[in-house]
């Protein structure tokens, strides 16, 4: 949903919330991410609302609905857009005096090349979150691609990088798989894990990222055991999350459900940090960080 809430005064925001389907705390509440329902994307213009897209979803929207552009997903995960693009679409690098290097896609991608429209579903963002966590160990992804491919095969589920199975058993699998890899690939893969209390676990720098992913409990449904919520790593103070059934997958403040873009629009429109924080019942320091990021982007 795209909103012009940043142009609205505090006195009319409750009306805008009602027009948008906002709950009193600022969150756009949708049904759980399964079963048939209608997704509407609205653009507010002055006092009216225009329906710009309607999609009838009968599958788990985490897997089937593109919610983010590649640049947006990269920003949410605090990484370079070019890195995320290579993970989503793969790459082929050629060199004059050595063999070309080919990387296959690692992230679920539903778009067409060079399209400006959203192409990454929620599950793709979760896969990117896992890969982003591995990068925190300063291990080149190219060096551990063979290990990741073997882990995905052994886990035996689609979208393994976004599955609870990988979080629970991935460290042990990486250790076992290391014995099947060559010298350098084995050494780099082992850098991701440590032995703790007799069990291999992900290094702390990786685990801190992975604990930001909340998974469904395993069950009988096709979407069970996969990522359902992500607490975004791109901010140090502001606590932001994404859920595919809230705010159409857009980031919101975890404590209140207030969409990030609503707060950002108000700040860009010239409202003070203190006023915005009071309007949406948010901590001043969290709104301050959003303002600081806006200022850096404008510089």
Is 155 a domain residue? Answer: yes
* Residue 158 domain boundaries: 66-232
Dihedral sign computed on CA atoms, order 22, 23, 28, 33: negative
Is 194 a domain residue? Answer: yes
Is 264 a domain residue? Answer: no
CA-wise closest residue to 50 among 13, 2, 9: 2
Is 210 a domain residue? Answer: yes
For residues 249 and 227, the answer to whether their CB atoms sit within 8 Å is: no
Is 112 a domain residue? Answer: yes
Q: Write b or e for each residue in 33-60: b if 16 or more Cβ atoms lie within 10 A of its Cβ, otherwise e.
A: bbeeeebeebebeeeebeeeeeeebeeb
Q: Where are the alpha helices (DSSP H) in the chain?
A: 13-20, 61-64, 70-76, 81-89, 122-135, 141-155, 164-178, 183-190, 204-210, 260-268, 273-279, 284-298
Is 125 a domain residue? Answer: yes
Using the 8-state DSSP alphabet, how is residue 280 labeled?
A: T
Provide the pLDDT for residue 140.
79
Is 240 a domain residue? Answer: no
Digitized pLDDT (tens) for each residue of the chain, 299 residues in all:
434 444 444 444 443 343 344 444 444 443 333 333 333 333 333 333 333 333 333 478 999 999 999 999 999 998 899 989 988 988 887 878 877 777 788 899 998 777 789 999 999 999 999 999 888 888 877 778 888 888 888 888 889 899 998 888 888 888 888 777 777 778 888 888 898 888 889 999 899 889 999 998 776 565 678 999 999 998 889 999 999 988 889 999 999 999 999 999 999 999 999 999 999 999 999 999 999 999 988 87
Q: How many structural domains is the chain composed of?
A: 1
Is 29 a domain residue? Answer: no
User: What is the model's pTM?
Assistant: 0.76
Dihedral angle of Cα 104, 106, 112, 115, to the nearest 10 degrees: -110
């Amino acid at each position: 949903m795209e909103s012009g809430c940043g142009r609205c005064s505090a006195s009319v925001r409750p009306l805008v919330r009602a027009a948008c389907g906002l709950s009193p705390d600022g969150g756009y509440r949708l049904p759980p991410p399964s079963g048939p329902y209608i997704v509407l994307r609205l653009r507010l213009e002055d006092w009216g609302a225009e329906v710009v897209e309607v999609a009838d979803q009968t599958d788990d929207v985490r897997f089937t609905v593109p919610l983010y552009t590649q640049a947006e997903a990269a920003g949410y995960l605090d990484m370079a857009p070019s890195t995320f693009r290579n993970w989503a679409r793969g790459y082929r690098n050629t060199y004059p005096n050595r063999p070309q290097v080919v990387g296959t896609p690692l992230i679920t991608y539903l778009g067409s090349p060079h399209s400006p429209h959203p192409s990454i579903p929620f599950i793709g963002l979760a896969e990117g979150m896992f890969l982003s966590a591995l990068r925190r160990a300063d291990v080149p992804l190219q060096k551990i691609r063979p290990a990741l491919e073997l882990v995905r095969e052994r886990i035996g589920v689609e979208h393994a990088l976004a599955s609870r199975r990988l979080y629970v058993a991935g460290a042990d699998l990486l250790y076992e798989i290391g014995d099947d890899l060559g010298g350098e690939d084995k050494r780099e893969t082992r850098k991701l894990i440590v032995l703790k209390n007799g069990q291999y676990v992900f290094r702390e720098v990786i685990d801190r990222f992975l604990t930001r992913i909340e998974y469904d409990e395993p069950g009988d449904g096709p979407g069970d055991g996969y990522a359902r919520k992500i607490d975004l790593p791109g901010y140090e103070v502001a606590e932001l999350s994404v859920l595919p059934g809230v705010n159409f997958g857009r980031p919101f403040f975890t404590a209140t459900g207030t969409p990030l873009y609503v707060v950002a629009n108000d700040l860009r429109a010239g409202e003070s940090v203190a006023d915005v924080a009071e309007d949406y019942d948010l901590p001043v320091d969290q709104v301050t960080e959003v303002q600081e990021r806006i200022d850096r982007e404008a510089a």
